[in-house]
Amino acid sequence: MHWTRISFPRKIHRAEMLSAGLRKFMDRLTNVGVNEDSVKALETLTRKAVELKQEQNHLRARHKAVTSELRSVMEALGKEVSSKKSMVKVELEQPLWVAFGIPDKR
C-alpha cells in the first residue's frame, strides 16, 4: 500500500519497526549508508511524529468539548433571541423592527 494512503499511526509503527530492524542489522547495511546517525535521525523523526500525533489527539478531544459547549450556548442564545424578538414585535410597530435587526413581517 502507498505511504500516502496509510494512517498516521500505521506510518509511525512502520517507522518504529524499520528503525528497530536497521539497528539490529546495521553491521550488514553499512555498505548502503546505514549508520548510527541515519538511524538516530529516523528515530528522532519518529518520536516527533508520535508527539505531534498525541498533541493532535488532545486538540481533537478539546475541539469536541468546545463544540459541545458552543452548541449548548447557541441553543440558549437562540431561545433568548427568539424571546426578545417576540417582545419587540408585540410592543413596537413593524417599521421600528429594523432597528433591532428584525427583517420579519408580521
Q: What is the pLDDT of residues 61-98, one digit of tens each?
A: 999 999 999 999 999 999 999 999 999 999 999 999 99
Q: Is 69 within 8 Å of 78 (Cβ atoms)?
A: no
Average pLDDT over residues 39-63: 98
What is the residue extent of each domain of the chain?
Answer: 3-80
Q: What are phi and psi of 34, to 5 degrees?
A: -85, 120
When the pLDDT of each residue in the chain is averaged and rounded to a whole number, the result is 94
The C-alpha atoms of residue 51 and residue 42 are separated, in whole angstroms, by 14
Residue 101's region, left for phi above 0, alpha for psi from -120 to 50, else beta, is left
Does the reported pTM lie above 0.75?
Answer: no
